[in-house]
Amino acid sequence: MSKYIFITGGVVSSLGKGISGASIGKLLQLRGFKVNMIKFDPYINVDPGTMNPYQHGEVFVTVDGAESDLDLGTYERFLDIYTSKANTNTAGSIYQTVIDNERRGNYNGDTVQVIPHITDEIKKRFLAFKNTYDITIIEIGGTIGDIESLPFIEAARQFQLENKKDVLSIHVSYIPYIAGAHELKTKPTQHSVNKLREIGISPDIIICRTEHCLDEAIRKKISLFCSVEKDCVLEALDASSIYYIPENLHKQNADALIMKKLNIKPKNKIDNAWFARIKKIETFTKKVKIAIVGKYVNLRDAYKSIVESLKIAAAHLNVQPEISYINSQDKNLITKLEGFAGILVPGGFGKRGVDGKIKAISYARENKIPFLGICLGMQCSVIEAARNLAKLKNADSTEFNANTKFPVIKFLEEQKNIEYRGATMRLGSYKSNILKNSLAYSLYKTTEIAERHRHRYEMNPEFVDILKEAGLKVTAYHKDILPEIVEIANHPFFIGVQFHPEFGSRLTKPHPLFRGFVSAALEKHK
């Protein structure tokens, strides 16, 4: 029978519930179990697709086209799995389903209520992968005590009551350090656990996020006041890399504790090679300087998967990346780009900051600096080439100038006449065919690829020949029509892609585009 682990969070948000859950999942994988993860977010948005990145960070896209929380990227990279629409849930999507059912008359005249109708729908989604995985880890977003997350916690309580032997509850909480008193304080965690117990869930394990080690007295105090065994009070110290956390938890017997409480036996001895491979990264002394030029640089989570992809690629090349975030609206943008071995322009929406991105691309092209453009970054490289190489004055995207004489980027035909903004873009995995004798082919080593997309605009095929003559060549197409990859020859590394390769990076397998980009930056660095 499948086993279930619930992850909740207390005291403050952004504690790393997703990283804690993924780390536990990794340990259980190393023990031989088949593990999956599901995320439940309490906000009313149906998905985060319409949110500003400053509100929610990066929007991660699943293979089947779901716009989701960035934690799903963490799940995929840690566990080397492919998530789907069933891995991401929000209060908005659940309420929408229940209301649609009510409108169809599916409740036989019942008064539709949070209990049982909303909680039943949540429990149904808990079981989305029943009998497909040995263990399903369910992360409930938000903070205990928030009114928004109450239906999810209630559903978890009911689920645990109905499946007592197969459910484990883990609470991630914050232990603040009062510098003036030189003291760690457990009171916030006590209140958080008491609030959880009021709802009817007693955590089996508490993971304490802290900047300082927990001494024996602190562990005993948390154990006593939170009614958990002392060995089940685990510390999650701040770490220089999130990939060190599985080993940190393993050293505290987290995997053994979980297996004991779920009454399951390991399928094999833990493979320490994974830990050793991660530790090796610490020994790399060579560094490479990469600049990310975007407009959401004040919130690093807006580029979470890109940053992790750069780190993974660098690790496989035995170097440390020095990543700097440069605002594309900075008046001193070009000056700040001096000294970088690689320039990456990521995706985004809207005109703000686009002029700076185009300037950064011109700088990379003219100074032979390795360049990688992603989604809007690719579109900006097309605009830059059209204006400066093909001499198409004021060439633009119809997103920014609907009346441009040279619409080198235009609205996708299927996007016209769409009423809703949410979940209506070109989303999910699409196949492309790569031309041989191209940089893309040398990186992928295949002519057919499938990558994840998230956009409404596309390079206008009408300008392919004009731009080719000017020096920008399309080297991959979707269905032989829509341009997917552009390159500039006689350059160390200049490539723009319409899709999001960062979503395909894995700890054990860096994405070929990122590996090629970092490798070219290393050559530039010499």
Residues known to be catalytic: 375, 500, 502
Residue reference for tokens 């490539």: 495
Amino acid sitting at position 388 = N
Q: Which pair of structure tokens corresponds to residue 271?
A: 């493979």
CA distances from 273 to 29, 266, 348 (A): 13, 17, 38
**How many Å apart are CA 370 and CA 380, to the nearest integer?**
16
**How many Å apart are CA 73 and CA 59, to the nearest integer?**
9
| Contact predicate 493/439, CB 8 Å | yes
Q: Whole-angstrom distance between the N-terminal and C-terminal Cα of the chain?
A: 56
In sign, the C-alpha dihedral spanning 499, 380, 455, 141 is: positive
| Contact predicate 319/518, CB 8 Å | yes
Burial of 97 (0-12, 13-18, 19+ CB in 10 A): middle
Q: What are phi and psi of 178, to 5 degrees?
A: -90, 105
Helix axes 119-126 and 91-104, enclosed angle (nearest 10): 120
For the chain, the 3-state helix, strand and coil shares in percent, each to the nearest 5, are 40, 25, 35
| Contact predicate 406/399, CB 8 Å | no
